[in-house]
Amino acid sequence: MDAASFMLADQPLDVAALSGALQGPEVGALAVFEGRVRRTNLGRQVLRLEYEAAPELAEPEFERLANEIRDRFEILDLRCVHRTGSLEIGDCAVWIGVTAAHREPAFDACRMLIDELKHRLPIWKKEHYADGDSGWIGHP
Amino acid sequence: MSRRIEVRFFAVLRETAGKRSETLDTDAVTVRALYEELRTQYGFTLPVSSMRVAIHDAVQPWDTPLQDGDVVTFIPPVAGG
């Protein structure tokens, strides 16, 4: 099995179902990463977040990234779902699941995917703060 | 020579322009010149140096010449995850 998939979702993620779908007789390890909305960022109190994505650019870039990861690590499957729209504190913003025969490549591939995704996929985040201010993250 | 271009805006550019996309006729020769034209028109604050640009959904250098019918997406600094 040699698979990868990426989805954008505008509704809350069912993380149990996402993990449950990653099955197979050769799977010895499942590494999952969930990125969640935190109340504090750089000392400011966050009320909610908005994510926006460019799907027609994100999908091919994810494919390139997934291919790089599969070239480096012995994994079976790699899946990622990223939220768009408005999110509250505690919501899951990004879910990543990687299966492999053994734990090491599963952990390593999961780590590489979240690290690279943050600065490569065309996804934008706007924070809304308790003081009424708001701003797009990563802007100079 | 004027070219007809479709432009797509995301995030802060979408908010500042007040629209997701537009079709326009431009004399700009490169995508960089097109962005500078729109920057003046809408008052975008992001410099080219902080962004990337895609033409027909593939990232290209800023000095790429514009062709009639190009679909241009400006990519502000990203922050997924």
Q: Which of A35, A54, A138 lies nearest to residue B73, judging by beta carbons?
A: A54
User: Which structure tokens are listed for A108?
Assistant: 């390593």
Closest A-chain CA to B47: A140
A2 pLDDT higher than 70: no
Q: Which residues of B touch A137 (CB under 8 A)?
A: 77, 79
Average pLDDT, chain A: 95
How much is the average pLDDT of A86-102?
98
Which residue in A52, A118, A126 has the most chain B C-beta atoms within 10 A of its own C-beta, making it the best mutation to test that interface? Answer: A52
Q: What is the ipTM of this complex?
A: 0.93
Residue-wise pLDDT for B37-67, tens only, equals: 999 999 999 999 999 999 999 999 999 999 9
How much is the average pLDDT of A35-44?
94
| Amino acid A1: pLDDT | 40
A62 pLDDT higher than 70: yes
| Amino acid B1: pLDDT | 77
Does A57 sit within 8 Å of B75, measured CB to CB? yes
CA distance A58 to A43: 30
Q: Which residues of B touch A121 (CB under 8 A)?
A: 78, 80
Confidence band, pLDDT 50/70/90 cuts, at residue A140: low
Contact (Cβ atoms closer than 8 angstroms) between residue B78 and residue A122: yes
| Contact B21/A at CB under 8 A | no
Does B76 sit within 8 Å of A94, measured CB to CB? no
| Amino acid B16: pLDDT | 97
How much is the average pLDDT of A66-94?
97
Closest A-chain CA to B54: A57
pTM, entire model: 0.93
Confidence band, pLDDT 50/70/90 cuts, at residue A20: very high
